[in-house]
């Protein structure tokens, strides 16, 4: 049997010119119809839902596609190549997240899937502490198997730490898990992850970080933050190919029943002499990756991790901060616009801004932005209903609006041109005049 190492696909010919923006995204120049019969270039300002694909990620996937093959299953050259790239993708993600020796990187479908996997893997009866303000993906998976303490929505990072500390102190003995978000998908505000993790440590609790909104904007380092697990989604990290990640401590994952039972997760399945079968499961990541893995999804995430690291988060941060300042200043000048905020105007934040508009239901406002100005934003309760309801109580009734109230959310990132922010501000002024 030959054992030569398969070749890695060569660099694609359509790779971006290194002198051009390494964080360029696809979609620039896409034209969309307007209600008046005209058309305009689409302004994608809904990155917090799903970000556009990085050009480099697209090119890497295109270069790999002809070499695509099954993972962990075939003896053929392309199967071995795909297996190698899949496992290398795991290593790339581990480096991107600052994983510790022994940590596992499990490829999942999404953040929601990752947190449900951890909920299934946590020892039965774990006391889970979670703020009511979390995204539903972080708020809801624990209820089936665990005792959940819902922490009240805090109004400052310091209050968040005090609240968590108090609840951790009062929690009964036994396994404890604190679930925290890195950045809010409603207000963009950053949460005091390091301080919350330190509080958890003081009380012997584990920590899982929902980095769905943080990872696309800031480096996430498990070891430096001292969190046990981190979850994120490829489609918010410029890699929309159906994969997500749960990375962190191996012990709970190794001891848990496989998330899905089936091929890939099982190492040995033996017939018993008395009938039936015995199963020995894998103890590494494969235990929770039953079925044929999404190798393109994993490869795309790894490509996004490499591209962001190479381009440098500093550069991305400067771009985002400049546009965020412009957006917030422009919105502040429109009296009908009322921004939603948990920690106040000076809180550090990623480029996610939600607001209500006097005289407008958010759904209608978002539709008008799309139909009249070619701008894509989101409206609604953003799968964080307790948080949005708490924030809406702050703003009080919206003038001229008696229907169910929905805020509007604007979010952006790599590749967003200044012109899109300016178009949005012009549109908001026009619609509120
Ligand atoms: N957490 C946060 C903070 C999010 O913003 C989202 C997506 N809106 C999720 C979790 C869930 O991500 P996904 O839909 O990719 O599972």
Query: Is 179 close to ligand 1, i.e. is its CB under 6 Å away?
Result: no
**Contact at 8 Å (CB) between 194 and 227?**
no
Instruction: Quote the pTM value.
Output: 0.94
Per-residue model confidence (pLDDT) at position 73:
78
**Matching CATH topology for 61-310 and 312-432?**
no
**Contact at 8 Å (CB) between 332 and 93?**
no
CATH class of 61-310: alpha beta
CA atoms of 284 and 287, how far apart (whole Å): 6
Local structure of 130: helix, strand or coil:
strand
Query: Is 135 close to ligand 1, i.e. is its CB under 6 Å away?
Result: yes
Query: Is 106 close to ligand 1, i.e. is its CB under 6 Å away?
Result: no
Of the candidates 115, 151, 243, 138, the one whose C-alpha atom is nearest the C-alpha of residue 184 is 138
Per-residue model confidence (pLDDT) at position 402:
56
What is 312-432's CATH topology? Answer: 3.90.1150
Of the candidates 265, 214, 239, 218, the one whose C-alpha atom is nearest the C-alpha of residue 106 is 265
Q: Dig out the tokens for 172 from the structure.
A: 């009964």
Residue 90 CB burial class (10 angstroms; 0-12, 13-18, ≥19):
buried
Query: Predicted confidence band at 7 (pLDDT cuts at 50, 70, 90)?
Result: low
Boundaries of every domain in the chain? 61-310, 312-432
How much distance in Å is there from the Cα of 253 to the middle of ligand 1?
22
Average pLDDT of the chain is 93
pLDDT at 260 over 60: yes
The closest-lying atom of ligand 1 relative to the alpha carbon of residue 236 is 15
Name the least confident of 191-195, 270-274, 409-413.
Answer: 270-274
Nearest CA to ligand 1 atom 4: 212
CA atoms of 303 and 305, how far apart (whole Å): 5
Q: Is 383 a catalytic residue?
A: yes
Query: Is 383 close to ligand 1, i.e. is its CB under 6 Å away?
Result: yes
The pick from 136, 189, 233 for probing ligand 1's pocket by mutation, whose C-beta has the most ligand atoms within 8 angstroms, reads 233
């Amino acid at each position: 049997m030959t054992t030569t190492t398969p070749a890695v696909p060569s660099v694609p010919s359509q790779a971006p010119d290194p002198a051009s923006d390494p964080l360029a995204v696809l979609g620039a120049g896409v034209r969309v119809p307007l209600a008046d019969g005209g058309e305009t270039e689409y302004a994608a300002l809904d990155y917090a839902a799903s970000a556009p694909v990085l050009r480099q990620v697209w090119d890497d996937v295109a270069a790999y596609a002809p070499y695509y093959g099954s993972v962990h299953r075939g003896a053929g050259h392309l199967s071995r190549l795909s297996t190698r790239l899949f496992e290398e993708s795991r290593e790339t993600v581990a480096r991107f997240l600052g994983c510790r020796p022994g940590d596992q990187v499990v490829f999942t479908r999404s953040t929601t899937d990752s947190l449900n996997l951890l909920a299934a893997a946590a020892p039965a009866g774990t006391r889970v502490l979670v703020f009511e303000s979390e995204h539903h993906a972080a708020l809801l998976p624990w209820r089936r198997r665990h005792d959940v303490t819902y922490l009240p929505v805090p109004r400052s990072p310091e209050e968040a730490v005090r609240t968590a500390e108090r609840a951790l102190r009062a929690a009964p003995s036994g396994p404890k898990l604190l679930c925290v978000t890195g950045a809010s998908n409603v207000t963009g505000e950053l949460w005091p992850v390091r301080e919350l993790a330190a509080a958890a440590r003081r009380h012997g609790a584990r920590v899982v970080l929902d980095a769905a909104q943080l990872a696309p904007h800031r480096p996430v380092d498990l070891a430096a933050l001292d969190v046990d697990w981190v979850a994120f989604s490829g489609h918010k990290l410029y890699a929309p190919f159906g994969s997500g990640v749960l990375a962190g401590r191996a012990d709970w994952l190794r001891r848990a029943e496989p998330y899905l039972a089936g091929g890939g997760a099982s190492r040995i399945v033996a017939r018993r002499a008395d009938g039936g079968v015995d199963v020995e499961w894998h103890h590494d990541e494969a235990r929770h990756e039953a079925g044929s893995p999404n190798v393109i999804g994993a490869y795309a995430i790894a490509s996004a991790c490499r591209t962001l690291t190479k381009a440098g988060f500093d550069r991305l941060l400067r771009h985002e901060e400049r546009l965020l300042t412009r957006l917030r200043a422009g919105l502040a000048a429109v009296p009908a616009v009322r921004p939603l905020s948990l920690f106040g105007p000076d809180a550090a934040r990623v480029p996610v801004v939600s607001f209500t508009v006097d005289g407008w239901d958010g759904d209608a406002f978002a539709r008008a932005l799309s139909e009249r100005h070619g701008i894509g934003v989101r409206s609604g309760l953003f799968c964080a209903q307790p948080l949005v309801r708490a924030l809406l109580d702050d703003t009080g009734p919206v003038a001229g609006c008696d229907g169910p109230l929905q805020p509007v959310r604007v979010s952006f990132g790599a590749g967003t041109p200044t012109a899109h922010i300016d178009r949005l501000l012009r549109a908001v002024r026009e619609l509120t005049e």
